[in-house]
Amino acid sequence: MTTHTLKHTAELLATGKTSAVELATAYLAKIEASQPTLNAFITIDRDKTLAMARDADALRAAGHAGALTGVPMVHKDIFCAEGWRTTCGSKMLDNFVSPYDAGVVERCKAAGLVTLGRANMDEFAMGSSNENSAYGPVKNPWDLTAVPGGSSGGSAAVVAARLAPVATATDTGGSIRQPAGFCGVTGLKPTYGIVSRYGMVAYASSLDQGGPIAQTAEDCALMLNVMAGFDERDSTSLDVAKEDYSRDLAKPLAGLRIGLPKEYFGAGLASDVAAAIEAALAEYKKLGAEVVEISLPRTELAIPAYYVIAPAEASSNLSRFDGVRYGHRASEYDDLIDMYEKSRAEGFGWETKRRILTGTYVLSHGYYDAYYLKAQKVRRLLAEDFQKGLAQCDVIAAPVAPTTAWTIGAKGDDPVAMYLEDIYTLGVNLAGLPGIAHPVGFGSNGRPVGMQLIGNYFAEAKLCQAAHQFQLATDWHTRAPQEA
């Protein structure tokens, strides 16, 4: 009962083979048993979950159920949800209970989805390993000594361990695609502005984007149908026509042109990751796709540009956490300034402090033009590279990361080494493009390998179609850790 995809779970509910309460109860038992080992959750509230499940069953009994009514899910702890503790993985918000729902949470509630809990994450979404959470690291279900990726590592681990059919996540520099790749599941990062950022705690406002993590591309398409839509409360939300992202899933891939950026397949890419991706590309060719070589010549500039722009925006966004209205406040202080300083020093973790300081520096007088303004110019050049590349193909194929998941603690003392792991994902966020990551095999250490497909703006349906057709022909997405 607790291993099915989102689509299959919805079918079980629609045919009366199970109920929302039965599903929620079974998943909660599995979650509680796994929590001491995986640490994938920050908050679990059995009473709230079962109340939502009873409401879903009542809707179904009254004939008012939607396609996903009663299906269990998990929210990344970055989305505000009324009555739920929303910590963002930080001591700073440890005692914050949200008085309202984020736009994504509203949409999930309206669809009848049942919240099982709040997924662990890197503090304020800052990290690539989920080791920066104030609540301890999440473990990779495939190998408990490995990281699950970040910052949405909790969401990816939840789906990989079959603790929920689907989870919400966010992607600022790869934080949906990279953990999906590390955990052997599927993650979809939509076009910037497709999913509302209202009530999603901000890290870097021009980069953050919500999306789903699930077992399959089909599930991601179904979930994006729920999550996407214009929200007037979000100034970055795009007012575009509503669409069905699952509409093209059944179409074959004959004639699909897949671009391979030569910059992504050179030095730095681990041989076991490269082998798994080559095998996946061979499968795509069997399905009728054509592979063409393209160039993204400024790829190496993505990391310095991102790590100027994102910290600068974080410095601004996180200035609101001062201990005055909500969040952590120091217990002892002399005056207002001392309260600010001590509250922030105690409330933020080291990686968050590092990025705040970096961002404040690049925005300071005398450095804004030299760093921040120049990074924004580079960002435009990176976006132009993608447009030139996509003019030669329909989608771009790339590794999710240069290696499989690393061992917990292996990069903790070298933040730059961890930043370099984002080389293949950052450009997509800087350009605002959509991307989907799906599993394509395992590395020499037995840890999953993910591949991402990158599309042009609003190409989510095409990306889901391509990944779905691949998954119909392969079984990597069906494999689960032994404990699951």
For 28, phi then psi, to 5°, come to: -60, -40
Whether 212 contacts 179, CB under 8 Å: no
- C-alpha dist (Å) from residue 325 to 90, 318, 320: 16, 14, 9
Backbone angles phi, psi at 210, to 5 degrees: -85, 155
- Residue in 175, 196, 237, 315 annotated catalytic: 175
Does 242 qualify as catalytic in the annotation? no
Query: Whose CA is closest to 125, among 76, 74, 194?
Result: 76
Active site residue 90: no
Structure token digits, residue 334: 């002399």
Catalytic residue among 129, 151, 237, 315: 151
Cβ neighbors of 282 (< 8 A, separation 6 or more) are none
- CA distances 301 to 44, 215, 401, 424, 438, Å, are 41, 32, 16, 11, 25
- Report whether 199 contacts 102 (CB < 8 A): yes
Helical H segments across 248-290, by residue range: 271-286
Backbone φ, ψ for residue 79 (5° rounding): -95, 120
Say whether 175 is catalytic: yes
Catalytic residue among 7, 76, 189, 411: 76
- Give 396's DSSP letter: E
Active site residues: 76, 151, 175
